[in-house]
Chains A and B, each alone.
Chain A
Amino acid sequence: MSRPTRRHVLLGSAAAVMLSGCRSKSAPPKTSPSPTPSPTPSASAPDVQAAVLGAAMENLLVALYDTAISAATDGKLGVVPAAAVGYLTTTRAHHADHAQAWAALLDQNHAPAVDGTPLVNADALIASVGRVKSFAELGPVAAEAERVATATYLTSITAVALESVVTTGVSIAPVEAAHASAIALLTGQAPLTRPPAGQLFDLRGALTVADLVAAPPSTVP
Chain B
Amino acid sequence: MSSDDDLVTLVAGIEAAAVTTLTALFAGPIVTAAPKPVGPLAAGALASHRQCRDALNAHVSTPVLVAPDGIVDRLGLQNADDAHELADVLTIATRVDDLLTQTCVQSVPQISDPTLRALLVQVAAAAGRRLGVLRTLAAMTPGELALALGPPVHPTVLSGHVGSAAAATSFVGTGDALSPEHA
Tell me whether B152 and A179 are in contact (CB under 8 A): no
Is A101 located at the chain interface by the 8 A CB criterion?
yes
Is A177 located at the chain interface by the 8 A CB criterion?
yes
Tell me whether B166 and A174 are in contact (CB under 8 A): no
For A187, give the chain B residue with the smallest CB separation: B153
Tell me whether A82 and B118 are in contact (CB under 8 A): no
> How far, in angstroms, from A83 to B169 measured CA to CA in the complex?
18
Q: Tally B residues with Cβ within 8 Å of A.
A: 55
> How far, in angstroms, from A218 to B25 measured CA to CA in the complex?
57
Interface of B is mostly: helix
Tell me whether B158 and A83 are in contact (CB under 8 A): yes
Known interface pairs A26-B112, A154-B121, A185-B136; A83-B163 also in contact (CB < 8 Å): yes
Tell me whether A201 and B129 are in contact (CB under 8 A): yes
- Chain A residues within an 8 Å CB radius of B32: none
The B19-55 residues at the A interface (CB cut-off 8 A) are 41, 44-45, 47-48, 51-52, 55
Residue of A169, A171, A187, A195 touching B155 (CB-CB under 8 A): A187
Most A CB within 10 A of own CB, among B127, B132, B133, B136: B132
How many Cβ-Cβ contacts under 8 Å join chain A to chain B? 197
Is A21 located at the chain interface by the 8 A CB criterion?
no
Residue of B48, B104, B117, B136 touching A158 (CB-CB under 8 A): B117
- Chain A residues within an 8 Å CB radius of B173: 171
Determine, out of A7-15, A85-93, A125-133, the stretch whose residues face the partner at the interface: A85-93
Interface of A is mostly: helix
Q: How far is the CB of A166 from the nearest CB of chain B, in Å?
A: 5
Is B131 located at the chain interface by the 8 A CB criterion?
yes
The B133-156 residues at the A interface (CB cut-off 8 A) are 133, 135-137, 150-153, 155-156
For B123, give the chain A residue with the smallest CB separation: A200
> How far, in angstroms, from A203 to B125 measured CA to CA in the complex?
11
Chain B residues packing against A (C-beta within 8 Å): 41, 44-45, 47-48, 51-52, 55, 101, 104-105, 108-109, 112, 114, 117-119, 121-133, 135-137, 150-153, 155-156, 158-167, 169-173
Q: Lowest 6 CB-CB distances: which A-B pairs, in order?
A: A174-B128, A86-B163, A182-B166, A192-B44, A177-B128, A178-B132
